[in-house]
Structure 1
Amino acid sequence: MCQDRAMPHAPALRLATSSDLDVLAARDRHLRPERLAASIAAGQVLVVDGREGILGWLRWGFFWDEIPFMNMLFVLVPARGRGLGGSLVEDWEARARADGHDAVLTSTRSDEAAQHFYRRRGYADAGVLLLPDEPAELLLRKELR
């Protein structure tokens, strides 16, 4: 696993701890607090800390119990445009590589600009999920080797 690191003259990347739960649970409404606590305990949440507190986070799990799958990447609006999302993704990919994984996955809705963020970082289309009355969910994969 990669060591938690501070970016020079910038916020610090680190694994979330139980002391981050209340802040994250108040902002990450996609996961019940008890599931978020389990993800934190499993070491599957990265945060970026600044003077202002937590500026963003990346939460992951595993697709088919094997392939690292990024479930959530979020940077607070005032902190956007500073490269924090890219730093979180790079750190997560390095952790996955260090753990012996050859690829990672994520997804985004077809009507979201996030697909371009991922494609610029080497992610390619791997499939699509079609749900009733919703835009297509694009599955994206990146080879790590």
Structure 2
Amino acid sequence: MSNYAPAFLIRPATERDSDFLLEHDRHITPTVWARVIDEGRALVLEEEQELRGWLRWSLFWDEIPFLNMLFLLEGHRGRTLGSKLLDEWESSMSAAGHTQVLTSTAADERAQRLYRRRDYLDSGVLLLPGEVAELLLAKSLTPGSP
């Protein structure tokens, strides 16, 4: 067994990533994706010079970073790449002076386990008619705070 581990790079998304992002993330329009990229609110993860996933965020109440989407392509999940993206994002949010971050996940999604392992705490539930409950999760970026 080889000790070779493919190198990965996490970087801000750029316009050259647009085709990939639009192909795989159909939750927002091309116009919104262009704005997200222009505002520096998306990270991409490259491995072996291929895009494997992304993370994008917005600002809740215009001030609290809110993770809108963390996504890895099939075949690249379960390898800690999502945690690497979260590490980078949380670190950059802390460096920008933010003391907490938020995200949400459907109550029936596996992703909530990842967030809970990383000290995200339940902070609310959004109930929309005909939809699965959306769990709101918060994490303090201040050491020693709940």
TM-score over 0.5 for the pair: yes
SS of residue in 1 equivalent to 2:37: helix
Aligned pairs, how many?
138
The equivalent position to 2:76 in structure 1, one of 74, 79, 82, is 79
4+ residue stretches of structure 1 with deviation over 3 A?
none
Contact kept? 2:7, 2:48, Cα under 8 Å: no
Q: Which moved more, 1:60-69 or 1:9-18?
A: 9-18
> How far apart are residue 9 of structure 1 and its match?
4.5
Corresponding residue of 2:13: 16
Q: Which moved more, 1:8-17 or 1:62-71?
A: 8-17
> How far apart are residue 82 of structure 1 and its match?
1.5
Corresponding residue of 2:121: 124
Corresponding residue of 1:29: 26
> How far apart are residue 52 of structure 1 and its match?
5.4
RMSD of aligned alpha carbons: 1.1
SS of residue in 2 equivalent to 1:74: strand
- Percentage of pairs with the same residue: 53
1:56 paired to 2:50: no
Structure 2: any 5+ residue segments left out of the alignment? none
Query: One-letter code of the match for 1:126?
Result: S
TM-score normalized by the length of structure 1:
0.92
TM-score normalized by the length of structure 2:
0.92
Structure 1: any 5+ residue segments left out of the alignment? 1-7
| Residues 106-141 of structure 1: CA deviation (Å, up to 9, x unaligned) | 000001111111000000001010000111100000
SS of residue in 2 equivalent to 1:77: coil
